Amino acid sequence: MQATWRRAAVRLFSDSSRPTNLMADVHGTTHGKKAWRNKPLFRREGDKKFRTGTEAADMLYEEAHRRDPYQTEFLTAVKSFTESVVPVFDRYPKYAWVMKQLMEPERVIQFRVPWVDDLGSRRVNRGFRVQFSSCCGPYVGGLRFHPETRHGTVKFLAFENVFRNAVYGPLGGAAGGADFNPLDKSEAEIMRFCQSFTTELANYIGPTTDIPTAGVNVGPRELGFMFGQFKRLRQLHPLRRCRAWTGCWGAARTFRKCLVTA
């Protein structure tokens, strides 16, 4: 797992911050390392510098905890990742500044999803989409329909997708979902919810911007409802512009192994 984290980090950091001295050796120059270590990583409460990769990892985790102390899943992921890339920070101190930016998502979208159940009652759920990083390409990430879905959960999943997608393809990382339980709903209710969810999210997704994929309780049926609504809203078919949006409705076949029904 740590080796995978490191491969993802090197690829992400390389795309986010090109070497300033192309004539340096593969490990960087000693002068360059000292120069970066003499710069404060944080300046909120005085200049905070680090000498080792371990100190950099601790400082990054403390900053993440200060900003989001109650998002335990996200904080656990940040701690695991920063500890795994300590050798990278030792060798390339400047990448600690890249990680400082990667810890904060580029965009966090929260919206209400109004829909009508089979009895005619108006229902309202919360929808989320966290677009964490697009430094490697358009955002790609699954959707999660589960009653326990919260902002912190989606943020944690989006953070992990950043590094997963960096390893397996030139793609960005995102995640989304809603506190909606489709297991006790009729197919008509699920359709109405998915259509309302897509209507609220349509301005932020697209074949070259953000591609939602399958996830917890989101399979080919749900993706089909959302993809159909997206086509109606945009009056286009993105098949020719992005292979992830295929004729099998929103990458359901492409990401079949990612489908989770419980």
Token output for 116: 């009508």
Are 87 and 111 in the same domain?
A: no
Decide if 160 is inside a domain.
yes
Q: Which is nearest to 205 in space by CA: 132, 127, 126, 139?
A: 139
Are 173 and 239 in the same domain?
A: yes
Are 218 and 236 in the same domain?
A: yes
Token output for 75: 């904080």
Cα dist from 24 to 51, 129, 134, whole Å: 21, 40, 28
Decide if 19 is inside a domain.
no
Burial of 241 (C-beta count, 10 Å sphere; 0-12/13-18/19+): exposed
Are 97 and 129 in the same domain?
A: no
| Residue found under tokens 């099998």 | 248
pLDDT in the model for residue 53: 81
92: left (phi over 0), alpha (psi -120 to 50) or beta: beta
Are 71 and 192 in the same domain?
A: no
Q: Which is nearest to 185 in space by CA: 93, 116, 257?
A: 116
Are 59 and 156 in the same domain?
A: no
Q: How many domains does the structure of the chain reveal?
A: 2
pLDDT in the model for residue 1: 56
Are 114 and 242 in the same domain?
A: yes
Are 214 and 141 in the same domain?
A: yes
Decide if 59 is inside a domain.
yes
Handedness of CA 188, 194, 197, 198 (dihedral sign): negative
Other CB atoms within 10 A of residue 75 CB: 18
Are 156 and 218 in the same domain?
A: yes
Are 87 and 122 in the same domain?
A: no
pLDDT tens, the chain, 262 aa long: 555 555 555 556 555 554 444 334 444 555 566 666 667 677 677 677 777 888 888 888 988 999 889 999 999 999 999 899 889 888 888 888 888 888 899 999 999 999 999 999 999 999 999 999 988 889 999 999 999 999 999 999 999 999 888 888 788 999 999 999 999 999 999 999 999 999 999 999 988 889 999 999 999 999 999 998 998 888 765 554 444 444 444 444 444 444 333 2
Q: Going by DSSP bridges, is the β-strand pair 172-178/210-213 parallel, antiparallel, or unpaired?
A: unpaired
Are 96 and 178 in the same domain?
A: no
The domain boundary, picked from 61, 87, 103, lies at 103
Q: Show the domain range for 125.
A: 107-249
249: left (phi over 0), alpha (psi -120 to 50) or beta: left
The domain boundary, picked from 103, 127, 142, lies at 103
pLDDT in the model for residue 2: 55
CA distance 144 to 251: 15
Decide if 6 is inside a domain.
no
Decide if 156 is inside a domain.
yes
| Residue found under tokens 């006790």 | 184
pLDDT in the model for residue 177: 94
Q: Which is nearest to 178 in space by CA: 115, 122, 230?
A: 115
Decide if 79 is inside a domain.
yes
Decide if 259 is inside a domain.
no
Decide if 164 is inside a domain.
yes
Are 79 and 191 in the same domain?
A: no
The domain boundary, picked from 103, 135, 162, lies at 103
Burial of 49 (C-beta count, 10 Å sphere; 0-12/13-18/19+): middle
